[in-house]
Structure 1
């Protein structure tokens, strides 16, 4: 079952998409909101797989919202404005629906979302709660990496380096593919070149992230990833 969130500053538009979700057996509506900032909180509070997201909203546009969540959920844009289509696909959204949205077009978009989400959650993806399997730096070489041993991950041109204490494991893959195979509850991308385990974050000092293990590593918090990172930190802050 795909857990869905609808974000639109117009309640009538929410009502239409909500009615469509109710008709599709593999979709489940978890929440709706007219406030995109509340939507950010809902993503951290609830288990959301797919967002139906308007683009032109006060406070935070849909484009800014997608950048802020940094791939935590899949997104289908629902908007009355076609000029944002190219920007949307540059952000790797699943589909772009123009209002008024016909149900047949909605169904086609959700079927595409289901295929993508099913593929990523399949056991064949290579990711497990306690370990991952990566392709090594030579053909036919596979490496099992224990999740709790990873200090951080660094992108290095055509491959990634997984740092585990004194070991640097090289894999011929890109950061985006590796990020998608890791649990968003355990890892967060903080820079175009860095992914870190949330449990290994000791402190944040300006743009520097200090790790519990490997605390000499120079991990930089990138501007693109800052909003989602800070929102994750705030959600865990004791008040």
Structure 2
């Protein structure tokens, strides 16, 4: 079975490909995304064998996505523009499909991809978990890579989320729930509706206040998160 994903900023284009994938027995669709940044996160998390990837998207191009995620997966580009064909094949795309995509042409591209994957020619997938997150900053279109071990704490601030790392504060347009869903649960813990912290940075808990390593700020503990935090602290102590 070949595990695949679809990334395209047009829902109608995704619907066409979802229908096509459903007709091919050896394809398993594991995720779709209309947002390129969400797509990057899904690729890093699920490590699909094959991605059907649009090139011309608002926030970033499919080629930009491929540069970020590397060669851990095979890509079939799906686009309405022919201008990027040479660039696509420079990045070892399996195929380049022009919209509107006819099913026979789609099938041919999938057969080519399956041949490469099944023959073992696809790059070996790295099984080491990611130790970073890419976030979109308040500067339109700019992505910043933040290593998990650099994060002191994460704070929700009205329309922004702030990553505090040393003396630096990085603002991103995502909300705190989006960030929480993308972070590994074994490293980070939500302690308040406005705060996420790396568990290893917690120095002490007193009167519903967290003290963090190398920070003067005191982080509050929300009532709905307290039981989970105490339970996790107890489990850590018993190990």
Indicate the TM-score class for this superposition, using the shorter chain for normalisation: 0.5 to 0.7
After superposition, the Cα gap between the structure-2 partners of 1:45 and 1:183, relative to the gap in structure 1 and judged at 3 Å, is: closer
1:67-146 pair list within 5 angstroms: 67-120=67-120
Larger radius of gyration: 2
RMSD between aligned residues: 2.5
Mapped to 2, the partners of 1:186 and 1:44 lie a distance apart of 11
Q: Which runs of 5+ in 2 are unaligned?
A: 131-148, 151-181, 189-197, 199-239
Tell me how far 1:187 sits from its aligned partner.
9.4
User: Normalization by structure 2: what TM-score?
Assistant: 0.54
Q: 2:55 touches 2:63 (CA, 8 Å); kept in 1?
A: yes
Structure 1 residue runs of 4 or more that deviate by more than 4 Å after TM superposition: 234-237
User: Normalization by structure 1: what TM-score?
Assistant: 0.54
Mapped to 1, the partners of 2:64 and 2:45 lie a distance apart of 20
Mapped to 2, the partners of 1:183 and 1:62 lie a distance apart of 20
Tell me how far 1:20 sits from its aligned partner.
0.2
After superposition, the Cα gap between the structure-2 partners of 1:183 and 1:84, relative to the gap in structure 1 and judged at 3 Å, is: closer
Instruction: Give the secondary-structure state (helix, strand or coil) at the position aligned to 1:31.
Output: strand
Q: 1:44 touches 1:235 (CA, 8 Å); kept in 2?
A: no
> Over residues 155-181 of structure 1, what are the superposed CA-to-partner deviations in whole Å (9 max), with x where a residue is unaligned?
xxxxxxxxxxxxxxxxxxxxxx9xx3x
Partner residue in 2 for 1:138: none
Which structure carries more relative contact order (alpha carbon 8 Å, separation 6+)?
Answer: 1
After superposition, the Cα gap between the structure-2 partners of 1:235 and 1:72, relative to the gap in structure 1 and judged at 3 Å, is: farther
How many residue pairs match? The answer is 140
Mapped to 2, the partners of 1:56 and 1:23 lie a distance apart of 26
